[in-house]
Structure 1
Amino acid sequence: MINRRLAIAGLTLVTALGLAGCGPNDDKARSGTGAPAAGRAAEAAADELDPAAALAAAAKRLGEQSMRIDMDMAGAISMTGVADPKAGVAEMSMDMGALGDGTKVELRKVGQDVYMKFGGSIGKSLGGGSGKPWMHVDATKITEGSSFNILPKADPAGTKAMIAAMTKVERVGEHGFKGLLDPTRMPQYNKSLKALGTKAGEMPFTAKTDDQDRLTELTLDMSALGAGAGKVKTRYSDFGTPVSVEAPPAAQVAELPKELSGLIQA
């Protein structure tokens, strides 16, 4: 039961953060800096003609600023928080109350340190009376395929993975998109979803951008994956909002237990 709940938590985190934008190591030409004006103009024209390129560029632009992230998974799981992909910091709070015991998860990312605190029965079983509610993980030890591999240095918010997973993209009006994603092409999803067969490779999505061509809303329709899966809607807002994340007090932190090592491995 605990493993199933942690898997759901990880999947939701990937959905919200893994498709959030880019960081400083991505292509400077796409971010609008470091490229000749003629080159940027040519790319802008290409984006206008190619819906996939336009959507990819919109996601990448999120990496230029901090933001607020709000996610709802079929009314059953919700998440809210802030992230700054360039600074490599994030603070998220997830409520998995639909699982029956009001489980909540808090997550902080500070540079190469990830901290997690579980509530409900999961938190009680992990705490074991140690008085240290937070679990620490060295981000450099988290494998590419782990659901908790958030804001990785090479691709801070997973834009490259999203682009690789898009199999069909169409425009819907001036600021809308729709299409299909193949999540099995994304390392975070691959291990758990390949077992579902062809359904996992046909996930409809819709997206919206603002007047500055930034991704502001992404909805994944996971209904085909099973009863109760529903839609996952993630909204990005409050661009440029101050994001200050601190590590929990050392006295409240313990290393991730060995029995949960699967969280950080593919």
Structure 2
Amino acid sequence: MSITGGGYMGTSRAVLAGVAVCALLSTAACGKSDSPGAAPAGAGSTAAAAAGKTSAAPADARTELLDATAKTSGTTSSYTTEVISEGDKVSSGTGKIDPARHANSSKSEFFGQGAGSMEMVVIGTDLYLKMNMAFAGTAAGSWMHIDGQQAGSLTKLGINADDPANLSSLPAGLVSVEKTGPGSFKGILDLTRTPAGKATMQQLGDAAKQIDFRATVGDGHLVALMIIVPSAIQMPAYTTTLRYSDFGAPVTIAAPAGAKPAPPALLEALK
């Protein structure tokens, strides 16, 4: 969640991106919710911002939101993710983050086409992955290990050990932001300004420059972020929602016992 939607199992990279907290600043085919209750507090309509303009955000609203985002990224936390498409849940997940140890863990479930579940642990440059369905010639239900150094880097696979939702990309993509109430924000993102920009343009075209978002801040932390992506090209509309909690609480993230090296077919599929 990259701001990702993670989602349908149509491509190999979408599978891993979905596990990576629906990495927020990159996109994969998913869908939009028409349910008003799905949005964090303060959700409402956002006027379109002109593509390519520099940020029009009032300094106080922009600063408050980005400071809260940095505070969330800088401490241990728990999170939940949900992707909704055309009123249907596409995926959901839970996870924990320990940025000081460069570690995170997550469990994700996928619904509809390609239904299944995954678990992932990232510690430094090591990625551990377990799926309950066969994928790229691998057996279901067993832990696999991917050495990020051998794979080129986990970043190339859309994995960020310190920041699985890639919240650090938010400043680059922020076009406008408005504070709509205590702790509530709405605005526009230009996903082409983020590291996932090229892939985003291929999937969304010019729509990638005008992405609505809603955010909620509590006790100085970013506690909820919703990305609302319209339908474009061959992609359906989708909404990705992340919620954070348990800031500063102890987190235990350990390498799974008995993990075996991932087969070359899996590494090749993720390139």
Q: TM-score range by the shorter chain?
A: 0.7 to 0.9
Q: For 1:115-143, what per-residue CA distance to the aligned partner results, in whole angstroms no more than 9, with x for missing partners?
A: 111222438x4128xxx822222234326
What secondary structure is seen at the aligned counterpart in 2 of 1:120? coil
Structure having the larger proportion of residues in helix: 1
Counterpart position of 2:244:
236
Question: In the comparison of the two structures, how many residue pairs are matched?
Answer: 225
| Matching residue's letter, 2:68 | A
Quick one: distance in 1 between partners of 2:190 and 2:19? 18
Cα distance, 1:121–1:70 mapped onto 2, change above 3 Å: same
Cα distance, 1:14–1:172 mapped onto 2, change above 3 Å: farther
Q: 1:23-102, aligned counterparts within 5 Å?
A: 49-74=59-84, 75-100=89-114, 102=115
Q: 1:60, CA displacement in angstroms?
A: 0.4
Instruction: Give TM-score, length-normalised by structure 1.
Output: 0.73
Q: 1:1-266, aligned counterparts within 5 Å?
A: 4-14=10-20, 16=22, 49-74=59-84, 75-100=89-114, 102-122=115-135, 125-127=137-139, 133-140=142-149, 141-142=152-153, 144-147=155-158, 149-151=159-161, 158-187=166-195, 189-195=196-202, 196-210=204-218, 212-225=219-232, 228-250=236-258, 252-263=259-270, 265=271
Q: Give me the CA root mean square deviation.
A: 2.8
Cα distance, 1:144–1:110 mapped onto 2, change above 3 Å: closer
What secondary structure is seen at the aligned counterpart in 1 of 2:92? strand
| Matching residue's letter, 1:117 | K
In structure 1, runs of 5+ residues without a counterpart are: 20-46
Cα distance, 1:62–1:161 mapped onto 2, change above 3 Å: same
- Could you tell me whether the CA contact under 8 Å between 1:105 and 1:116 is conserved in 2? yes
Cα distance, 1:234–1:105 mapped onto 2, change above 3 Å: same
Cα distance, 1:262–1:201 mapped onto 2, change above 3 Å: farther
The higher-RCO structure (CA 8 Å, 6+ apart) is 2
Which has more radius of gyration? 1
Q: 1:94, CA displacement in angstroms?
A: 0.7
Cα distance, 1:7–1:122 mapped onto 2, change above 3 Å: same
Q: For 1:181-216, what per-residue CA distance to the aligned partner results, in whole angstroms no more than 9, with x for missing partners?
A: 1222222x3342211310122110000000x21000
Q: For 1:43-76, what per-residue CA distance to the aligned partner results, in whole angstroms no more than 9, with x for missing partners?
A: xxxx994322221111100134211110000021
Structure 1 stretches (4+) deviating beyond 4 angstroms?
13-19
